[in-house]
Amino acid sequence: NAGVMQNPRHLVRRRGQEARLRCSPMKGHSHVYWYRQLPEEGLKFMVYLQKENIIDESGMPKERFSAEFPKEGPSILRIQQVVRGDSAAYFCASSYGGDGVETQYFGPGTRLLVL
């Protein structure tokens, strides 16, 4: 039973380029969450999605960041025109249901470095 998959594990981009981070949830999970971990900080919620719907994007920066979870395929977190401050580890989590009681299972993360 594969866990949450994220790729790439490491991503290097130059300022102004685009970064695409992919997340495949655990089998049977239809709820996906993205979190960002800045150096020496805890994880901060970014966005919560169900299939084809964004439920809560209150943690997403207003510009340059977008997320989707299409009917088929992985969830994508897209960062346009990256800046050095975007350098962080981005974690995806999935759960079977969306209630607070549901355990969120985390992927290994994508570590983005912006040069």
Partner 1 sequence: AQSVTQLDSQVPVFEEAPVELRCNYSSSVSVYLFWYVQYPNQGLQLLLKYLSGSTLVESINGFEAEFNKSQTSFHLRKPSVHISDTAEYFCAVSRGLSGYSTLTFGKGTMLLVSP
Any contact of residue 2 with partner 1 (CB under 8 A)?
Answer: no
Tokens of 77: 């977190």
Looking at the Cβ atoms of 46 and 114, the one nearer to partner 1 is 46
Tokens of 71: 């009917």
- To partner 1, the closest distance from the beta carbon of 18 in angstroms equals 24
Window 68 to 97, contacts with partner 1 (CB under 8 A): 91, 93
- To partner 1, the closest distance from the beta carbon of 97 in angstroms equals 9
110/52 Cα distance (integer angstroms): 22
Any contact of residue 1 with partner 1 (CB under 8 A)?
Answer: no
Applying CB under 8 A, the span of 17-25, 63-71, 79-87, 102-110 interacting with partner 1 comes to: 102-110
For residue 74, give every residue at least 6 positions away whose Cβ sits within 8 Å of its Cβ, in sequence order, or none.
5, 22, 23, 24
Tell me the CA distances in angstroms from 56 to 48, 61, 91, 109, one per residue in order.
Answer: 5, 12, 16, 20
Window 9 to 68, contacts with partner 1 (CB under 8 A): 31, 33, 35, 40-45, 48, 55-56, 59
